[in-house]
Structure 1
Amino acid sequence: MRPVRLAASLGAVFVLSATVSTLALAQAPVCSAPVKVLAQPRDGLTLLEDSKAEFEKLSGASFKIDYLNENDRRAKSRADASTVGNYNVYYVDEANVALFASSKWIVPLTDFYPADYDYADFDPGRQKVATYDGKVWFAPLTGGGDLMVYRKDVLEAAGIQPPKTLDELIADVPKLTNADKGMYGIALRGARGSGANVWRWMPFFKAYGGKWFDGDKPAFNSEAAVKATETYLKLFKDSAPGTQTGSWDESTGAFLSGQVAILVESTPLSGMAVDPKTSQVVGKIGFLPPPSPLPGGGYGHGLAIAAKANADDASKKCAGLFIAWATSKENEKRRLDAHQFGELNRTSILASKEFADIYGADLGQALAETGKVTAVNFWQDPRWPDLGDRWGIILEELIAGTRTDVKGSLNELEAYANELVKK
């Protein structure tokens, strides 16, 4: 994802935001009842609770957010959306937006998202993830793509320039490993799961030209899939201890504790890497987009308008106004002031002087550049978690060495996919 529109100053952005709010306040109340939201805990949502009076003045009503952990939130939102429809707004994510949209449990967001709130200002990669079947379904609360985060001191000592291509990465990683000194060239994810090992494998699959389908037929046993898997397994030879059975926490933890020279991971890592409370390598790191042609793994979580609870357009407009306000430039600025890096989604904020003052200009530039190559790598279909988790089991076994036949494993996955698409 993208061209980024740079703000000449953040002050200009918030003059606009103030104008937006003034225009909205001049209108008649939009909401006749409190907006009921089902979500999972996020710092950015908790921060909204401090501004309830602002939303009530803006809309004519307040809001109530019920929080559940991720798995329980997904289960309850499916049950609610398909039956009684108690909630006006659902928290959705890249793994379930296809199910909610295709089931007509949510409605296209931009039909009811006030234009003055500038949806186009969101990071283009997050817009891609929020789009399914050509329509936008949610406003981002969190998300991103991938960045290459690297130890400038370690690469300099080894006489290695930060790799700009995948071939350079593959060649450099073994040179940066020194197990006797507790340094490893890279950290990957080995634990099974569509959002774990498969998530980190997918950019290699896409980089080598892989496709999930050829027309309507699964195409997982391609040469691209074989090469991607072989490359992933090769790089794992230099992956930090614990990552072979680990996921996000283990790979990022290894980097933040100073054990890893190069890490290509989801963008929230970068905010953690410059925070002395979470990182032992502050001041030693650089940021770049993933080595070409690796695409960033686009993901996103956000707020969507429920269909059943919002039976008429007036209710949908109320829900749309809440979502627009909750994800507005003004509330994004509050999240920036609170140093909630993982909750920042707007290009005007990421390009601002205030962001650069807190996180550094290099990080803002890297985020802008990585957006241009961020992509939706997973299969946008309600059956994706089933397929991805199945591949995760097989890939975990290949990493652990209990399987050795890459081509045969991909053939097995393809057979599973053929049965899955018949359902």
Structure 2
Amino acid sequence: MKNLWEEYLVKIKSHLKTTATSVAVILASQAALAAGVCTDDVRILAQPQAGLTTTEGFASEFEELAGVGFQIDYLNENDRRAKSRADASVIGKYNVYYVDEANLAQFASTGWIAPLLDHYPAEYDFEDFDSGRQTTATFDGKVWFAPITGGGDLMVYRTDVFEAAGVEPPKTLEELFEVVEKIHDPENGIYGYALRGQRGSGANVWRWMPYFRGFGGEWFNEDGTPAFNSEAAVKATETYLKLFEYSPPGTRTGSWDESTGAFNSGQVALIVESAPLGGMSLNPDNSNVSDKVAFGTPPAPLTGGGYAHGFAIGSKANETDAERDCAALWIAWATSKENELRRLEAGQSGELNRVSVFNSPEFAEAFGEELPAALEATAPFTRVNFWQNEKWPDLGNRWGIILEELITGQRTDINEALAELEAYAIELNSD
């Protein structure tokens, strides 16, 4: 598999070289359209992404296109969120903000960012983005950012373990439990499933929500009263806790790194996780089981956890339409098909978002045909599972603490735990 991966890199580099002339022609025509739009360098606040480092290597291309440069300031996720809130609400230093599904509602509802499609250049084809990512970038009926990373959920499994056990990929939760029980063999180093137990709205709660929403759960009623202290939430929590019986011990307080790391190391036979795991599991640099992996959709009735991070137009720093057009031009260029193909060449599979790239010969050369088919098949199941409200991080993180205590056995009463969360939500909404 290692040799095949190296052969692929040689082929894609050759392909990109042969397309350089056509890209130059496209850029020339776009530059003519961009003339006069940008007058000052574009300032961006972001969190570190390998794909952005790759994109910065082509800064001269944007300068040729727009007639200005750009500057990206990087902060880790928590610091980025805090600084972007402060800057977007009061200062307005940055033309472009890196936002994500967890803080989109706050930025959009307060007017800190502008609707993207009012200024996004049509030639960059926003409709080419995966439909699940488009959904996640939408709030109150409008699109607010272009994705740099994101996805829904995939079922990823070990073909060798399934064949040895004589089982088929599960299509329902009932079948999932049957399969997991048959393949679970910790004495021989194979765990049936892997989950996230670490507290946090983006950790254990993120993986719990597909069960909650799949069972029909809702966060709030139309009148604003909490609705999650429900039969659906109890059933989701019971199911989640039961599945932990088949998950490696380190995942009970672990996050994405522990659960996906357990799968890629060969400890786990089956996992339902965010889509970037697909490419990672096929790359022998990341995975010990790269030649034994297959994909499917999450077992019904699970929903796919739609998430996306991307770039939005800052309102305060871009007061005029021309300034917003310039910010949108940088966003469109940075997330363009050409830059995604460069990230693909660099092996940054978690930062690919366009259907045209998933369906490209380059993607098939790297990952075969099964992964893009699975990504397409899972898109209809992808939805925004969390509460789209600026107070979501507070509520989600509180449930994360309580859920971790249930997972680790510090709590045992699910109804009592949900009642406590409900009381917190009422207090939170009264502020």
Aligned in 2, Cα 1:15/1:259: closer, same or farther, shift over 3 Å? same
Query: Residues of 1 paired with 2:118 and 2:76: CA distance?
Result: 29
Aligned in 2, Cα 1:25/1:101: closer, same or farther, shift over 3 Å? same
Within 5 Å, give how 1:267-278 maps onto structure 2: 267-278=275-286
Instruction: Pick from 269, 292, 300 the counterpart of residue 300 of structure 2.
Output: 292
The two structures, once aligned, show a CA RMSD in angstroms of 1.7
Query: Residues of 1 paired with 2:135 and 2:26: CA distance?
Result: 25
For 1:26, what is the secondary structure of its paired residue? helix
Matched, 1:75 2:82: yes
Shift of 1:43: 1.5
Instruction: Pick from 159, 171, 174 the counterpart of residue 167 of structure 1.
Output: 174
Partner letter of residue 237 of structure 2?
A: T
User: Which residue of structure 2 lines up, in the alignment, with residue 308 of structure 1?
Assistant: 316
Shift of 1:15: 9.7
For 2:71, what is the secondary structure of its paired residue? strand
Matched, 1:52 2:56: no
Within 5 Å, give how 1:22-421 maps onto structure 2: 22-27=28-33, 28-215=35-222, 216-421=224-429
Query: Residues of 2 paired with 1:140 and 1:16: CA distance?
Result: 25
> Normalising to structure 2: TM-score of the pair?
0.93
Query: Residues of 2 paired with 1:380 and 1:346: CA distance?
Result: 24
Shift of 1:409: 1.1
Residues 217-264 of structure 1, C-alpha deviations (whole Å, 9 max, x = no match): 111111111100100011111111201111111111111111111000
Shift of 1:276: 1.1
Aligned in 2, Cα 1:120/1:14: closer, same or farther, shift over 3 Å? farther
User: Which residue of structure 2 lines up, in the alignment, with residue 21 of structure 1?
Assistant: 27
Query: Residues of 2 paired with 1:228 and 1:120: CA distance?
Result: 34
Shift of 1:17: 6.4
Query: Residues of 1 paired with 2:324 and 2:69: CA distance?
Result: 15
Shift of 1:21: 2.9
Residues 125-177 of structure 1, C-alpha deviations (whole Å, 9 max, x = no match): 11011001111110000001110000111111111101011211122212211
Asked if the contact 1:17/1:329 (under 8 Å) is kept, the reply is no
Shift of 1:14: 9.4
Asked if the contact 1:148/1:264 (under 8 Å) is kept, the reply is yes
Identity rate, percent = 64
Partner letter of residue 176 of structure 2?
A: L
Query: Residues of 2 paired with 1:94 and 1:407: CA distance?
Result: 28
Partner letter of residue 208 of structure 2?
A: W
Shift of 1:22: 3.6
Shift of 1:353: 1.4
User: Which residue of structure 2 lines up, in the alignment, with residue 6 of structure 1?
Assistant: none
Query: Residues of 2 paired with 1:273 and 1:249: CA distance?
Result: 13
Shift of 1:284: 0.8
Asked if the contact 1:272/1:279 (under 8 Å) is kept, the reply is yes
Partner letter of residue 291 of structure 1?
A: P
Structure 2 unaligned blocks of 5 or more: 1-14
Query: Residues of 2 paired with 1:55 and 1:245: CA distance?
Result: 43
Residues 248-301 of structure 1, C-alpha deviations (whole Å, 9 max, x = no match): 111111111111110001111111111111111111111111112211101000
Structure 1 unaligned blocks of 5 or more: 1-9
Partner letter of residue 184 of structure 2?
A: T
Aligned residues: 414
